[in-house]
Amino acid sequence: MIVKKIIIVIAFLFFAVICWRLVSAWRHAPPPIPYSTFLQVLEEGRIQKATILMGSELADVQFSRRGSSAQDTTEVPTKELPLLIKKMIDCGVAVEFSKAQRAEPGFILLNLMPVFLIPAAIAYLYFAVRRKQA
């Protein structure tokens, strides 16, 4: 019985950590800047480096401005990329390409754990209460 209680406590702690990580990640992720603002900053020559993450219809462009270590992101339609890349190279921007990140199996499992642990914990508590009543 003690082992079951320890497993439930560990499951709830795990769930609390997952929820905390998800909430803290959403708060700290800056919103992407509009594409028009990106073009304006590019034409002013204030972009130092850009990394393009390819997608099927949209590409994410992560860039850093000159004199700043912060990274901003914007979304660009993929059909506009050839002209944008030429424009960035002409403006002296260091352009890099990166594959879009795929979800790792461990990361998928970690995200699905609460989906399985919560119903298991509820079922355990339900049957534990029924056992005490009998």
Q: What are 81-125's pLDDT values in tens digits?
A: 999 999 999 999 999 988 766 656 766 777 777 777 777 878 887
Angle, vertex CA 110, rays to CA 109 and CA 112, nearest 5: 65
pLDDT at 96: 92
Tell which wins on pLDDT, 35 or 109: 35
Q: Are residues 92 and 40 in the same domain?
A: yes
Q: Are residues 81 and 52 in the same domain?
A: yes
Q: What are 41-82's pLDDT values in tens digits?
A: 999 999 999 999 887 788 889 999 888 878 888 999 989 999
Tell which wins on pLDDT, 38 or 117: 38
Look at strands 47-53 and 58-65 and give their pairing: antiparallel
Half-sphere exposure of 126 (CA within 13 A, CB side): 6
pLDDT at 17: 80
Other residues' Cβ atoms within 10 Å of the Cβ of residue 87: 14
Range of the domain at 6: 1-30
Mean pLDDT of all residues in 9-26: 74
Residue 54: name the closest of 96, 8, 6 by CA: 96
Q: Are residues 69 and 83 in the same domain?
A: yes
Question: Using 50, 70 and 90 to split pLDDT, how confident is the model at 28?
Answer: low
Domain assignment present for residue 23? The answer is: yes
pLDDT at 99: 73
Number of folded domains in the chain?
A: 2
Report yes or no: 73 and 33 within 8 Å, Cβ to Cβ. yes
Q: Are residues 40 and 97 in the same domain?
A: yes
pLDDT at 5: 80
**Is this structure's pTM higher than 0.75?**
no
